[in-house]
Chains A and B, each alone.
Chain A
Amino acid sequence: EAEVAQSPRYKITEKSQAVAFWCDPISGHATLYWYRQILGQGPELLVQFQDESVVDDSQLPKDRFSAERLKGVDSTLKIQPAELGDSAMYLCASTRQYSETQYFGPGTRLLVL
């Protein structure tokens, strides 16, 4: 069964450092999402891509976060500089076009010290 791949699974960094997370969606899924999930909360959307284009990045803190999906397949989410409050699980999800069903990857758990 096809799955969304994410790496790394865990990342520990010091504040003010740069971190990057990678996501490879299910093959053929045109829509890709990055979510942030703080412990004890539901996932919150950071950015949504349709192919290589950003559809919604209204909740992305653009002063420190950036996301790209250059060829419309895999995607990278970057944080620079990281802050203590960025400690969370970063989830990637994908879906076929015109579908409401999102498939999630295992997530990257970030700890900022």
Chain B
Amino acid sequence: QKEVEQDPGPLSVPEGAIVSLNCTYSNSAFQYFMWYRQYSRKGPELLMYTYSSGNKEDGRFTAQVDKSSKYISLFIRDSQPSDSATYLCAMSERDDKIIFGKGTRLHILP
């Protein structure tokens, strides 16, 4: 079992819909949780960063961490065609390397 599991998709949703992206993990020592967005042929761009459990909101994006279930989510409200990209979850222990999921390809249909 990989440390971080993420459904590769693709996930296609109509413009304006709420998108839910998820990852599960096995290492209970992970404390830092991140979501990166990666457009085709570009490097990943940090979207959200969360320490420990709870929710964090930034504009149309909400990140949730449930450490008891070892499950993290990213919600995108009022999705736009420009949100079409690959979304990578990532996590790490304190002062340790970051482990990335495989990424979920998201298509927002106009």
Interface residues, chain A, with chain B CB atoms under 8 Å away = 4, 6, 40-45, 48, 56, 91, 93, 100-107, 109
Contacts and interface: CB of A to CB of B under 8 A. Distances in A.
A104 B44 contact: yes
Closest 9 pairs between A and B when the two form their complex, measured CB to CB: A42-B100, A104-B43, A100-B32, A107-B43, A104-B44, A106-B43, A45-B97, A42-B102, A43-B100
Interface residues of B, number: 22
B43 A45 contact: no
Contacts, number: 48
B96 to A, nearest CB: 9
Contacts of A93: 43
Nearest to B99: A42
Contact of A102 (B8, B98, B102): B98
B41 A109 contact: yes
Given A42-B103, A100-B32, A100-B92, A56 B97 contact: yes
Contacts of B78: none
B46 interface: yes
Contacts of B49: 100-101
Nearest to B94: A100
B90 interface: yes
25 contacts: A4-B43, A40-B8, A40-B102, A42-B90, A42-B101, A42-B103, A43-B44, A43-B88, A43-B100, A44-B100, A48-B97, A56-B97, A100-B92, A100-B98, A101-B34, A102-B46, A102-B98, A104-B36, A104-B43, A104-B44, A104-B45, A106-B43, A107-B41, A107-B42, A109-B41
Contact of A101 (B8, B46, B88, B102): B46
A71 B32 CA distance: 30
A106 B42 contact: yes
Contacts of B45: 104
Contacts of B36: 104
